[in-house]
Structure 1
């Protein structure tokens, strides 16, 4: 099982509402119930939601989860 995190762009000019994506990839020989357990843990504790589930020819599976990232801009310019 491989997990790949794609972060939302940061810095000036980045959108205020954006998503982070987490891709979980399973090879054909890996345990599907184990992957479901990982998906549940990410959803419950990390506030992730399942965006896409793909089953490829040959048995490889790919799950894409996302969570919203809220950017907060400073409203007072004190300094």
Structure 2
């Protein structure tokens, strides 16, 4: 079974859609995050949850 680590944050309504897209693309391409959940609230705020798989290295000592 896969284990994931999560990163949650809020984006203000003043952030444009283009800026949010750049932020999420950068997180995916350079840091290995993928979008788990994005919730857009009626007042324009966004709650974003990113996830990435935890890779455990087992030593063979």
Instruction: State the TM bucket, normalised to the shorter chain.
Output: 0.7 to 0.9
Whether 1:44 and 2:15 are equivalent positions in the alignment is no
CA distance in 2, matches of 1:52, 1:38: 15
Structure 2 portions without partners, runs of 5+ = none
How well do the aligned residues superpose, as a CA RMSD in angstroms?
Answer: 1.8
SS at match of 1:25: strand
Whether 1:53 and 2:38 are equivalent positions in the alignment is yes
CA distance in 1, matches of 2:25, 2:54: 20
Calculate the TM-score normalised by the size of structure 1. Answer: 0.64
Whether 1:65 and 2:20 are equivalent positions in the alignment is no
Calculate the TM-score normalised by the size of structure 2. Answer: 0.79
Number of residue pairs matched? 61
Which is richer in helix? 2
Bigger RCO of structures 1 and 2 (CA < 8 A, at least 6 apart) = 2
Query: Which of 1 and 2 has greater Rg?
Result: 1
Structure 1 portions without partners, runs of 5+ = 1-15
